[in-house]
Amino acid sequence: MGRALELAVRGAGYVSPNPMVGCVILDCNGAFLAEGWHGVYGGPHAEIMALRNLDQGANLVGATVYVTLEPCAHYGKTPPCALALSQLPIKRVVIACQDPNPLVAGQGIKMLEDAGISCEIGLLEAEAQHINRAFFWRLEQKMPYITLKWAQTADGFVARNNFDSKWITGSLSRTWVHKLRSEVDAVAVGGGTAFYDNPELNVRNWHGHQPARLVWATRPDLPQSHHLFSGQQTTYLGWLGEGSAPTWANTKTLEVPDGLPIADRIAFQLKQLASTGIQHLLVEGGSKLLQDLIDHDLWNEAWVGTNPSMHFDVGIKAPELKILAIAQHKLGQDVWSYHQHQLGVVSVSD
């Protein structure tokens, strides 16, 4: 199952809004037969890929299939994986976690058991749930899973007052951030960050999927020459200012009813994003936007990178998290802390 989990995450950024799934098949004696993973949205699922990777003449009698998520039981873009497995002479299917999707939700397991195949559920369940946390969250809450990310100096600043401090963390951290971008559906910034930094919000120092972009803005004066309006990636405008949203080239405006408080406006727009299939959103700044999301419980996890040798003394203060880090890792001299926050149900009407 550990190997199946390793395979599953190869689909990060490519299979959304589907879950990441990996599969390993062993013969009746426990010897390796084949493996596979869900590689692209709309493509074959992990179980089917593993079956396709079997050597010709491989003996499946009494075999065991390890899969990180309950095999699907419905016809979607592909036929049901549980049906395909149920027609084979396998003996057992070991499943890390059940699929809460109402179209599956135990029906895949039932289909296998009705065919006389033994099912075991719960092996490395926590690990399997973690890799698909965004999938589960969007399915249950109808909201994107939100990861916050920022870099700060040792004395707690994200920028100088004149915004001339572009890089706080080092090159290893920048590469890792681009990897993180490749694994999410969209990357967001606030209007101030968009104005002063002119970010591209794309993947350059890594390989893989290019995310959509989102700018939450209250200012209508963002230059049309900025990278956000290049049209190279889908770009959403979450207008939070007064009056009608400005018309910007190559953007899709997220509509919101008049008169809502700022937190409800953001939550309403997040629900719109979720309805388009965006289930994992990375928010990279600025400090005010990040703090608003923190203060209104509109976040799930946060990565905070600190350069221990950089001090600004004065500047724009970093957001404040009151939840202690549960993990840390070093990239060069930078220290990244990981914080996790489980939200309740957001009560904003559809």
Catalytic machinery residues: 47
Closest listed residue to residue 143, CA positions, set 319, 342, 303, 325: 342
Phi, psi (5° rounding) for residue 71? -60, 140
The full 3-state SS of the chain, as one line of letters, equals CHHHHHHHHHHCCCCCCCCCCEEEEECCCCCEEEEEECCCCCCCCHHHHHHHCCCCCCCCCCCEEEECCCCCCCCCCCCCHHHHHHCCCCCEEEECCCCCCCCCCCHHHHHHHHCCCEEEECCCHHHHHHHCHHHHHHHHHCCCEEEEEEEEECCCEEECCCCCCCCCCCHHHHHHHHHHHHCCCEEEEEHHHHHHHCCCCCCCCCCCCCCEEEEEECCCCCCCCCHHHCCCCCEEEEECCCCCCCCCCCCEEECCCCCCCHHHHHHHHHHHHHHCCCCEEEECCCHHHHHHHHHCCCCCEEEEEEECCCCCCCCEECCCCCCCCCEEEEECCEEEEEEECCCCCCCCCC
Distance CA 320, CA 154 (A): 14
What does DSSP say about strands 92-95 and 252-254: parallel, antiparallel, or unpaired? unpaired
Q: 């990040």: which residue's tokens?
A: 290
Diameter of the chain by CA atoms? 70
Q: 């990777």: which residue's tokens?
A: 53
